[in-house]
A and B are shown apart, each in its own frame.
Chain A
Amino acid sequence: MRPSDLYGVMGEFGTPEELLEAVKKVRQAGYRRLDAYAPFPIEGLSDALGLKRNLVPAITLLGGLAGGIGGFGFQYWAAAITYPLNIGGRPLNSWPAFIPVTFELTILGASLAAVFGMLALNRLPHPHHPVFNVARFTHASSDRFFVCIEAKDPNFHLEKCARLLQEVHAHHITEVSND
């Protein structure tokens, strides 16, 4: 296999504890480009992987603000500027009546920004991924736990990584090809 065809090297584990331990050891050995795969959320795994806080909350806030300001602004523009109508003697800028729509559009803007911001940041939908090339990887959605050290890591060295995974007691160690 040519080095450019190599996505990474993968180790398989039987329990979440083994997985957590392995991730910690691999990170300690200096590898940063790695990911872990498990059939269910594991507390502490994000920390062990060193995942940082992402931008989704900030994007959500911006979406909410845009929705709210836009919602209020549009009503104001329609009712007070372009089509002023005297309704029951109320002021043209009848702000209390604008609040429900403003509120709803704030929520709409925030939710759309949250969903699409999340999709943009994690690049989903993602129908194929090199880890699917490993036959045993189907177990990642039922009863096995996987760590994959990616070849993109600057310190990546196939034999060393394989040996490291062996040291942390991976049950199976597999090369993952790119195609």
Chain B
Amino acid sequence: MAAQEYQAPESVSRLQQRAYFVGGVALLVSIFGAVHAPELFFPSYLMSFLLILGLTVGSLGLLMLQHLTSGHWGIIIRRPLESATRALPLMVITFLPIAIFGMKYLYMGHGEGKGWLNAPATGEGALSDFQKTYLTASGFYTRAVIYFVIWLGLMFIFNVSSKQQDLNPQDRALRFRLKMLAGPGIILYVFVMTFASIDWAMSLSPHWASTIYGFLFVAGQLISSMSLMIAVVVLLARTEPFASVLQKRHLHDLGKLLLAFLMLWAYFDFSQLLIIWSGNQPEEISFYRTRLYSGWGVVAVIVLVFHFFVPFFLLLSQDVKRNAKVLPRIAIWLIFMRLVDLFWMTRPEFTSRAMPTWLDVVLPLALGGLWLGFFAFNLKQCPLLPLGDPELAEAIEHHEH
């Protein structure tokens, strides 16, 4: 085993080229949209940004989770997870258009005084006293800097330590330190994501609030990230060296976790609905008044059936979770459904028309393509397995044939 290097196969380079190409072309096309229809561009951009943010920081959460729990499943996907977290610099860059140009299109409520950026000082649409001090442009920028600094810090700690471990497999103290940092790191990730989701998405409707909103994002991000990992390991396993590493039991474990995250997400989402529905308060039900009727109601049913019920019942089966052809398809489907869910979460604040625009096709391709290209580039920088992990040999040992 020690003689093997586990370098990324040729297919990763091809993925990188294709993803950059698709992402680059789509980005050029979308710039046209940004110039001619910024009021359509930025809602699409926010949705796409939130999707790739989920792939990035969701992977950060999963990475810390696997350090904390140290299962074999985590050793198999540790390097792809690390590569996904190293896409964070791209997230900083892709956040800039929102911060520089997008604020007035996103947080001004179409000039009707419904957004927090232009809320009237008094009267019906006025913000509360606390919101007046919290939801300000300078507060928005300051907090965004804090979020990214914390994420980048966590990314740095776990990537550098993992690299050190490759060189010093015997270093027990290093392994212990990773474990000790992972617990507080997860708490930090959930806190930061809660605040970030409030700033970037929930503040689209400043008079509505939900305390579980951040968890909806956290659970959704775990689905996105785990789905990506399943797709990536199956892709890597098409060729050596990963082909002789990945076994059905690994896929089974990853599939079980995906099912668990899916149920967690559904549980959070339903909790929010149940509490608001039971409370029946005018200021709370606005969220569902706009999202459960007419066209948006159709989207809600699509999300319920195709984001939850269909993948849930499929993933219940052991044969599906162990199937290297079916499982990655469900995973990629779930990433797509994450996008639909983000569409349903954010877009009703902009329009009552529940139809995607051409930018909703181009922008996810642009940001997703660039992200995937960068991810593939990152994947080539390190061996595909954490060679210094003391449990590696056991994790990739063959039991079945």
The answer to whether A and B belong to the same complex is yes
Given the complex, which residues of A lie within 8 Å of B400, measured CB to CB?
A: 43-44, 47
Q: A57-B318, A61-B316 are in contact. Are A97 and B399 (CB under 8 A)?
A: no
Question: Among residues 57 to 82 in chain A, which have CB atoms less than 8 Å away from a CB atom of chain B?
Answer: 57, 61
**Nearest residue in B to A53 (C-beta to C-beta)?**
B318
* Distance between Cα atoms of A44 and B397 in the complex (Å): 13
Question: Among residues 70 to 104 in chain A, which have CB atoms less than 8 Å away from a CB atom of chain B?
Answer: 88, 90, 96-97, 99-100
B399 and A100 contacting across the interface, CB-CB below 8 Å: no
Interface window among B41-49, B269-277, B342-350, B369-377: B269-277
* Distance between Cα atoms of A47 and B274 in the complex (Å): 47
Chain B 180-222: CB-based contact to A (< 8 A → 1; otherwise 0): 0000000000000000000000000000000000000000000
Tell me how far the C-beta of A96 lies from the nearest C-beta in chain B, rounded to whole angstroms.
5
Given the complex, which residues of B lie within 8 Å of A97, measured CB to CB?
A: 274, 277-278
**Nearest residue in A to B278 (C-beta to C-beta)?**
A97
Q: Which of A43, A57, A88, A99 is in CB contact (< 8 Å) with B399?
A: A43
Q: A43-B399, A88-B280 are in contact. Are A100 and B274 (CB under 8 A)?
A: yes
We find that the number of chain A residues with CB closer than 8 angstroms to chain B is 11
A96 and B277 contacting across the interface, CB-CB below 8 Å: yes
Given the complex, which residues of A lie within 8 Å of B270, measured CB to CB?
A: 96, 99
Given the complex, which residues of A lie within 8 Å of B399, measured CB to CB?
A: 43-44
**Nearest residue in A to B266 (C-beta to C-beta)?**
A103
B280 and A96 contacting across the interface, CB-CB below 8 Å: no
**Nearest residue in B to A42 (C-beta to C-beta)?**
B399
* Distance between Cα atoms of A96 and B292 in the complex (Å): 14
**Nearest residue in A to B263 (C-beta to C-beta)?**
A103
Question: Among residues 129 to 167 in chain A, which have CB atoms less than 8 Å away from a CB atom of chain B?
Answer: none
Given the complex, which residues of A lie within 8 Å of B274, measured CB to CB?
A: 96-97, 99-100
B273 and A96 contacting across the interface, CB-CB below 8 Å: yes
Tell me how far the C-beta of A53 lies from the nearest C-beta in chain B, rounded to whole angstroms.
9
**Nearest residue in A to B399 (C-beta to C-beta)?**
A43
**Nearest residue in B to A61 (C-beta to C-beta)?**
B316
* Distance between Cα atoms of A97 and B273 in the complex (Å): 10
We find that the number of chain B residues with CB closer than 8 angstroms to chain A is 10
Tell me how far the C-beta of B126 lies from the nearest C-beta in chain A, rounded to whole angstroms.
30
Tell me how far the C-beta of B281 lies from the nearest C-beta in chain A, rounded to whole angstroms.
12
A96 and B278 contacting across the interface, CB-CB below 8 Å: yes
* Distance between Cα atoms of A57 and B321 in the complex (Å): 14
Given the complex, which residues of B lie within 8 Å of A61, measured CB to CB?
A: 316
* Distance between Cα atoms of A35 and B273 in the complex (Å): 53
Given the complex, which residues of B lie within 8 Å of A57, measured CB to CB?
A: 318
* Distance between Cα atoms of A97 and B279 in the complex (Å): 11
Tell me how far the C-beta of B276 lies from the nearest C-beta in chain A, rounded to whole angstroms.
9
**Nearest residue in B to A60 (C-beta to C-beta)?**
B316
* Distance between Cα atoms of A90 and B277 in the complex (Å): 10
Tell me how far the C-beta of A90 lies from the nearest C-beta in chain B, rounded to whole angstroms.
8
* Distance between Cα atoms of A100 and B275 in the complex (Å): 12
**Nearest residue in B to A43 (C-beta to C-beta)?**
B399
* Distance between Cα atoms of A100 and B270 in the complex (Å): 9
**Nearest residue in A to B274 (C-beta to C-beta)?**
A96
Question: Among residues 251 to 304 in chain B, which have CB atoms less than 8 Å away from a CB atom of chain A?
Answer: 270, 273-274, 277-278, 280
**Nearest residue in A to B271 (C-beta to C-beta)?**
A100
**Nearest residue in A to B267 (C-beta to C-beta)?**
A103
Given the complex, which residues of A lie within 8 Å of B280, measured CB to CB?
A: 88, 90
* Distance between Cα atoms of A100 and B278 in the complex (Å): 13
Tell me how far the C-beta of A41 lies from the nearest C-beta in chain B, rounded to whole angstroms.
11
Question: Among residues 352 to 401 in chain B, which have CB atoms less than 8 Å away from a CB atom of chain A?
Answer: 399-400
**Nearest residue in B to A88 (C-beta to C-beta)?**
B280
* Distance between Cα atoms of A61 and B277 in the complex (Å): 30
* Distance between Cα atoms of A44 and B278 in the complex (Å): 52
* Distance between Cα atoms of A167 and B277 in the complex (Å): 72
* Distance between Cα atoms of A37 and B400 in the complex (Å): 20
User: Which 9 A-B pairs have CB atoms at the shortest separation, nearest pair first?
Assistant: A43-B399, A96-B277, A96-B274, A44-B399, A96-B273, A99-B270, A97-B278, A44-B400, A99-B274
Q: What are 17 contact pairs spanning A and B, CB under 8 A? A: A43-B399, A43-B400, A44-B399, A44-B400, A47-B400, A61-B316, A88-B280, A90-B280, A96-B270, A96-B273, A96-B277, A96-B278, A97-B274, A97-B278, A99-B270, A99-B274, A100-B274
